[in-house]
Amino acid sequence: MSEYAISVASNMGMIAFVALSAYVILVVGEISFGQQAYFGIGAYMSGAATAMWGWPFGLALAVGSLSAAAAAFAIGALTIRLRGLYFAISTLCFAEMLRLWLNSVHVRVEVDGEMVGPDGAEGFGDIRWIFENDVTPLEFMFIIYGLLGAVLAFLLLVERSRLGAALRMVGQDPLLARSQGIDASACKLLAVMFAGLIAGLGGGLYAHFATYIEPNVFNVMLGVHGLAYGLIGGLGTALGPIIGVVLDIGFLEGIRAIQGYRMIVFGGLVAILLIVMPRGILDETRVYRIKRWMRRT
Amino acid sequence: MLEVRDLVTAYGTIEALKGVTLSAKQGEITCILGPNGAGKTTLMYSIACILKPVSGSVKVNDTEITGTSAPHALRCGIALVPENRLVFHSMSVEENLMAGAYTRLSSDRAGVQADIDNAYARFPSLKDRRAQIAGTLSGGEQQMLAVARAMMSRPKILMMDEPSLGLAPLIVAEIFSIIRQLNDEGVSIVLVEQNAHKALQIANRFYLLDQGRVTFSGTPGEIGEDDFIQRAYLGSKVA
């Protein structure tokens, strides 16, 4: 694989975490424009863990994703009563607050004679774990896809379970779900928290892949893309958002002919799909038909 | 069986229920009538613990359930068929039935399967459509499915919020005969209806709800004696 291909593939893998994160919230019937915040928290926390505190990589990823999950839980507990637009706006507000706040966070420590740590708008550089441990881009790509595969497998398992059914019911009609004896608020909170965890994990990977992060990386466009991938690929299965990612980055970015027009084509694609297939390519009905067809054959 | 006392439920500062007291007896069909905005649906949600009342009490068989959760109310034997939101649209008929047994889905697989078979025996048309997406059923079939799903929780009290809403007269008649049949099998029914004529035909006792208060209660036999109710809800007898 060429270096370019590896980098595109790695980027695809990492943004897939944001897409899956946004998807989990879409499943319970809400829209979040703020999943980039948890990606950011994961990136900053796990970056700090390896670069500033010298923790091992695995522990750093765990710290990053757990902090993101904790933040998501705290914000979720505050906003869970909001619905629709109000919930969406609140997620966006929190993400923007965090991004602007990160611009003024300066926590610098001396490691091996050099100052490292978040330096406000200057960013947070020298997250040198992959250099110090001689991890090649190809190896790191495998780490990304290994973890992505694990998250995806877990989501697919949950979707087959009783919990998964409950989450979908809450997404379709919270009130009707409650009258079946489902604790809709708990389901939503769980989804929000798990979405934070997934985004945080992706963020931790991103910090070590890029070795340099700055608050503006985690702007609203990142979250909007993540959201759009789910809406394009379909909300019927966790594979949907992955299809969205592959379509956008793998396909559109791959076609050099439309270079520079990618966002126009992408926007148009989203608009067309929302009209023709409002819940994406692999929506619930299509997933159900495919499952039935597979059982027959 | 079901005792509601001085129930007050508010949306913000607006009190939708201003102290409702009523009771539904074991094995009876209790009907709640009232115009739009009377608080009928709010009352149903409050009894099912989906809405949290400000004050008052709801007791099932002398057990206080006020302020507990919807799953708890369900365990105490209260099942609700909410108004106008009948089925989970993108799930199949069978998945909808399983949703009704959600609280014991993993602990009692054999029981759930037996209940699904019972539901199909009661509603043969659902059996033919077991793999169909519920959103593609007709309105009547969706209402049947909603009733079947509510029965999956093995309720002692089945609360139905306007089951005849938007359905053809023949289907309405079928729904009412099913309600009567369920009642004969020992399920107590609380029925909210706008179709007063139909409802009073099968009700043992009825309550009239207006602007969050019970304004009248009695048996259907007593209604003819009250001129006001006759005119307001059933239309004048003498044209």
Residue B238 confidence (pLDDT): 47
Q: Which helix (H) or strand (E) holds A100?
A: helix A84-102
What average pLDDT does the segment B122-134 reach?
89
What average pLDDT does the segment A104-123 reach?
89
DSSP state at residue B60: E
How sure is the predictor about B233, in pLDDT bands with cuts at 50, 70 and 90?
Answer: low
Structural domains of chain B sorted by starting position, each given as residue range(s) with its CATH number in brackets: 2-87+156-234 (3.40.50.300)
Residue A81 confidence (pLDDT): 87
Contact B90 A176 (CB under 8 A): no
Q: What is the pLDDT of residues A232-243, one digit of tens each?
A: 999 989 999 999
- Statement: residue A248 has pLDDT above 70: yes
3-class SS of residue B213:
strand
Is the complex ipTM higher than 0.90? no
What average pLDDT does the segment A113-122 reach?
89
How sure is the predictor about A124, in pLDDT bands with cuts at 50, 70 and 90?
Answer: very high
Q: Does A290 touch chain B (CB under 8 A)?
A: no
Among the residue ranges A15-24, A237-246, A278-287, B213-222, the one predicted with the least confidence is: B213-222
How many other CB atoms are there within 10 angstroms of residue B88's CB atom? 25
Residue B230 confidence (pLDDT): 67
- How far B227 CA sits from the closest chain A CA (Å)? 38
Query: Could you tell me the sign of the dihedral formed by the alpha carbons of B180, B186, B187, B191, in that order?
Result: positive
Query: Is residue A202 within 8 Å of residue B136, measured between CB atoms?
Result: no
- Nearest chain B residue (CA) to A283: B90
What average pLDDT does the segment A181-198 reach?
94
Q: Does A235 touch chain B (CB under 8 A)?
A: no
DSSP-H helix ranges across chain B: 40-47, 70-75, 93-100, 109-122, 124-128, 139-151, 169-184, 196-202, 220-223, 227-229
- Statement: residue B239 has pLDDT above 60: no
- Nearest chain A residue (CA) to B44: A179
Contact A173 B80 (CB under 8 A): no
Q: What is the pLDDT of residues A1-12, one digit of tens each?
A: 788 889 889 999
CA distances from A58 to A7, A50, A61, A195, B211 (A): 22, 10, 5, 19, 61
Residue A285 confidence (pLDDT): 85
Global pTM?
0.88
Q: What is the pLDDT of residues B174-205, one digit of tens each?
A: 889 999 999 999 899 999 988 888 888 888 99
Strand B55-60 and strand B63-64: the pairing is antiparallel
Integer Cα distance of A82 and A74 in angstroms: 14
What average pLDDT does the segment B128-132 reach?
89
Percent of chain A with pLDDT over 90: 66
- Statement: residue B225 has pLDDT above 80: no
Residue B235 confidence (pLDDT): 61
Q: Does A136 touch chain B (CB under 8 A)?
A: no
Query: Of B196, B194, B199, B192, nearest to B20 (Cα)?
Result: B192
Name the residue ranges covered by the structural domains of chain A: 3-226
Q: Does A168 touch chain B (CB under 8 A)?
A: yes
What average pLDDT does the segment A133-161 reach?
95
- Statement: residue B226 has pLDDT above 80: no
Contact B74 A181 (CB under 8 A): yes
